[in-house]
Structures are given as structure tokens and as C-alpha cells.
Amino acid sequence: MVLEAIIDPDRASANPWAVAILSFVFVTVAVFSAGYLIKESTSMLIVALVAIPSVTLLTSIFDKETSYDYNNKKGTLTRYLPVVMVLFAYFVGVMAAFTFYFIVMPSSETAVLFSQQSAELGKISSAVSGHAVQTLYLGDIAGAFEFIFTNNLKVFLILLVGSLLYGAGTVFIIDWNASILGVFLGNMACELVRNDPAKFTIWSGLGSGVLNLLPHGTFELLAYLCVAIAGGILSASLLHKKYRDPEFLVIIYDVTKLAAWGLLFLAAGAFIEGTALAGM
């Protein structure tokens, strides 16, 4: 395919924000194609159309990392930081695109195009309200941390297993979560403008949503990307029979450290969000 061939792994690592622009293009093509291909379950089709061209790019990145020169003296996180930045930029690009189209397109169209994301956000809202989370954990940082960390750990483990089994195919899970966050931010901005037009514009409403997510969301995203990279690299190394090479032990070591860093980032994000939830 043409779209995913625009940026090769070396260019992606050197200029990760070009990947963000490319992922925005992927979403644009998907949004305007999905409505013509199928009228039902359009929102899932959009995510699939974004993931399909992304798999080739991410597979080539994972393959490149399995042939890395392991004789260098860089630490694990330093070694894979360019890949983390590429996936971070990719996620931001997908999320920004979903936010953009949710805001600029008529509500009659967004209700169809992003119906599954809106339904998922409704389930999350109902679950939180149903458990009276804010009241239950008020003043209880440990309880709030456990609640948030446990829920985020489920996503973490799904990404780990998915990346091991499907390699770069786990990008579908990344795209799905990016689309939910994008719709959340777009909906929040629109709601703030509707409820208080004198105080909020679309941009200030969007900024408010981003600032709410940024403190804990950055760490959570880093956690998910670390574990996705760990599983993807291990999957690629097994596919290419790297277990026959002496460097395979180094790959296992790096994968373990990436997963451990992911857990630390996950805990940091849960602590920040738990502190806010507990009202501390």
C-alpha cells in the first residue's frame, strides 16, 4: 500500500511527529471512506481502516529493533526511546484526528461515525456513577490507587498478550483507545461550549479536557506503549527465529525491563489520578 510506505522506520525514528501527521491522514481517509463502504458499525470500520495501513509501518519498526546492535552500552529505556516517541506521536495523531472530526462534523454524522466510542464512554460513565467512586474513595488514596491501577492493569495485560500474539496487529487496540479519548475530548469541548458559551470556546473547552487528562494520562500512555513495544519486539524476534542467536537473551532482558518500566509508569499514573480522586 502507498500510505504506510511514505515513512520508513529510520525516518520515523528521526522525525516522530511526521508519524503523527501520517496517522492523522490515516484517520481522515478512514472517516471519509467508511460511510461509503458500510452504513452499520461504521465506527469499528474506521478504527480497522486506520489500523490496516499502520500494521506495516509498525511491523517494520519492530523488525528493525530486533536487528539492533546489542553491543552498544545504552540502557534499555534509552535504546527504545525513539520507538516510544514514534508510537506516542502516532497515538497523539490518531487521537487528535478523532477529536477534530468529532468537533467539525455535524452531530447527525458523528452520532453514526463514532457511535461505538460514544457507547463505550457511556458505559464507563455509568460504571463510575454506579459505584459512586468519588464518594467511595474520598480521602482514601490507597483505595483510589488500587481501584485505578487494577482497571488500568487489565488494559496493560490485554496489550501485552495482544502484542505477543499479533505483534504490530495490536495497533488496533491502540487505535481503539485513541479513538475513545479523541471522542471524549471532542464531546467534552462541545458540552462545555453548549453549557457555558460565555465562558468557553471550542479551543478553551478542548484545552480544559487535555489539561484534565495530561497529568495521569501521560504516564498511563507511556505504560501502554512500553508494554506494546515489549510484546511487539518479542513477537518479531520469535517470528524471525532470533531465539537461535546469543542476542536473544539480551532481547528477553530488554523486554522484561520495558514491561517493568511500563508497570512503574502505570503505578505513577494511578497514583496521580488516585490523589485527585481522593480529593487530596
- Binning pLDDT at 50, 70 and 90, where does residue 132 land? low
Give per-residue burial for 115-137: e unless 16+ CB within 10 Å, then b.
bbbbebbeeeeeeeeeeebeeeb
pLDDT of 139-164, one tens digit each? Answer: 668 888 888 899 899 989 998 888 88
- Give the angle subtended at the CA of 178 by the CAs of 101 and 88, to the nearest 5°: 115
pLDDT at residue 273 greater than cutoff 90: no
- Binning pLDDT at 50, 70 and 90, where does residue 14 land? confident
Domain containing residue 118: 3-277
Give CA–CA dist 58/233, Å, rounded: 10
Burial of residue 273 (number of CB atoms within 10 Å: 0-12, 13-18, 19+): buried
- Binning pLDDT at 50, 70 and 90, where does residue 111 land? confident
Per-residue confidence (pLDDT) for residue 162, from 0 to 100: 86
- Counting residues of the chain whose pLDDT is more than 70, the rounded percentage is 81
Per-residue confidence (pLDDT) for residue 65, from 0 to 100: 63
Average pLDDT, the chain: 82
Summarize the confidence of residues 102-127 as an average pLDDT.
83
Residue 215 C-alpha from the chain's centroid: 15
Per-residue confidence (pLDDT) for residue 100, from 0 to 100: 94
Task: Quickly count: other Cβ atoms within 10 Å of residue 67's Cβ.
Answer: 12
Summarize the confidence of residues 13-34 as an average pLDDT.
86
- Binning pLDDT at 50, 70 and 90, where does residue 268 land? very high
Task: Quickly count: other Cβ atoms within 10 Å of residue 148's Cβ.
Answer: 24
pLDDT of 33-92, one tens digit each? Answer: 886 776 666 888 899 889 888 888 777 777 676 665 656 666 777 778 888 888 899 999
Q: How many domains, the chain?
A: 1
Per-residue confidence (pLDDT) for residue 120, from 0 to 100: 84
Per-residue confidence (pLDDT) for residue 182, from 0 to 100: 92
Least confident of 15-29, 72-86, 94-108, 263-277: 72-86
Amino acid letter, residue 45: L
- Give the angle subtended at the CA of 184 by the CAs of 35 and 58, to the nearest 5°: 70
pLDDT at residue 129 greater than cutoff 70: no
